[in-house]
Amino acid sequence: MTEERGRTAILNGHEFWYLDSGDGPAVLFIHGLTGSHRNWAHLVDTLNTDHRVLVPDLFGHGASAKPMGDYSLGAHAATLRDLLDRLGIDRVTLVGHSFGGGIAMQFCYLFPERVERLVLVSSGGLGRSVSPLLRSATLPGAEWVLPVIASGWVRGRAEAVGRILARVGWRASSDVTQAWHGFTSLADADSRRAFLATTRSVIDPGGQTVNAHDHLPMTIEIPTLIVWGTRDRMIPAWHATRAHQAIAGSRVELFEGAGHYPHLDDPDRFAEVLGDFMAG
């Protein structure tokens, strides 16, 4: 269904894919590393009855181009600003997950007059801690290792193991499912190059390198909702507490038992919490 509503714009000379559905106040969803619009697709039909829902594939991800160039938070934020300009949208509610949360905060810092509300979901940029898996992508030689582990042979063996486990009743969590989708998205060289450039723009072998507490929107008066899963193994849930303390008037919703994708682990609750926040 979502592909039928998909559109492509030429931004900075490259194709940028986005979903545009519904009418009303605009809400822009920003996915995380190796993600795509599919991370939010289940919310479109819930929200587009009274909102204009925008769900892009960031450059380097999904159906958008994967050019050589800048994959920093600022570059992504500027691209999203360009998209809003193209669509004639002045103000928007930003919903950012993981790396997308960092982009959303950078957008607030650069273009605060364009932001109606901010929603951070398991967001990056709120502390040094991050999964060793992502830190390993910043090590020297990762560009040589990735083609091997993302090869068709390895993917095929992993899928065979998954089928065997499924027969004995194992069900993959949202974290495992999304990690697998991200892993399979790195099959081509352009995607791997974009992934490494994006990861290394915000992470080093010791953890996250961009800290919102230093210069992002902590002093900007934008209504902010912070959503986190209590069992997030990618970015620990105590980052939500730090963000709540730093962002005046912010609201926190902890999803008990959810992992790094609380909007997928409990989509009905997430849609309700988000709808209530935007209505308020």
Which pLDDT score, from 0 to 100, does residue 187 have? 77
Contact call for residues 41 and 94 (beta carbons, < 8 A): no
Residue of 260, 263, 265, 266 marked active site:
260
Residue 132 φ/ψ, nearest 5 degrees:
-55, -25
Count of all residues that appear for the chain in the document: 280
User: What DSSP string runs through 117-175?
Assistant: EEEEES-SSS-S---HHHHHTTSTTHHHHHHHHTSHHHHHHHHHHHHHHHHTT----HH
Crossing angle between the packed helical segments 99-110 and 73-87, to the nearest 10 degrees: 70
Residue 131 sits at the vertex; the CA angle it makes with 129 and 137, to the nearest 5 degrees, is 115
Q: Distance (Å, rounded) from C-alpha 27 to C-alpha 89? A: 10
Q: Distance (Å, rounded) from C-alpha 61 to C-alpha 28? A: 16
Lowest-pLDDT range of 21-25, 141-145, 203-207? 141-145
pLDDT tens, residue by residue, 154-196: 455 555 554 554 566 645 566 667 766 666 777 788 888 888 8
Show the tokens assigned to 58: 């960031």
Residue of 21, 98, 174, 250 marked active site:
98
Exposure pattern of 122-150 as b/e (b: 16+ CB <10 Å)?
bbbbbbeebbeebbebbeeeeeeebeeeb
Going along the chain from its start, the domains and CATH numbers come out as: 2-131+208-279 (3.40.50.1820), 133-197 (no CATH)
Contact call for residues 66 and 60 (beta carbons, < 8 A): yes
Residue 227 φ/ψ, nearest 5 degrees:
-120, 135
pLDDT tens, residue by residue, 198-218: 888 888 888 888 877 665 555
Which pLDDT score, from 0 to 100, does residue 153 have? 43
pLDDT tens, residue by residue, 85-119: 999 999 999 999 999 999 999 999 899 999 999 99
Answer yes or no: 70 catalytic.
Answer: no
Residue of 20, 232, 265, 266 marked active site:
232
Answer yes or no: 98 catalytic.
Answer: yes
Average pLDDT over the chain, rounded to an integer = 84
Answer yes or no: 213 catalytic.
Answer: no
| End-to-end CA separation in angstroms for the chain | 30
Lowest-pLDDT range of 28-42, 132-146, 254-268? 132-146
What does pTM read for this prediction?
A: 0.88
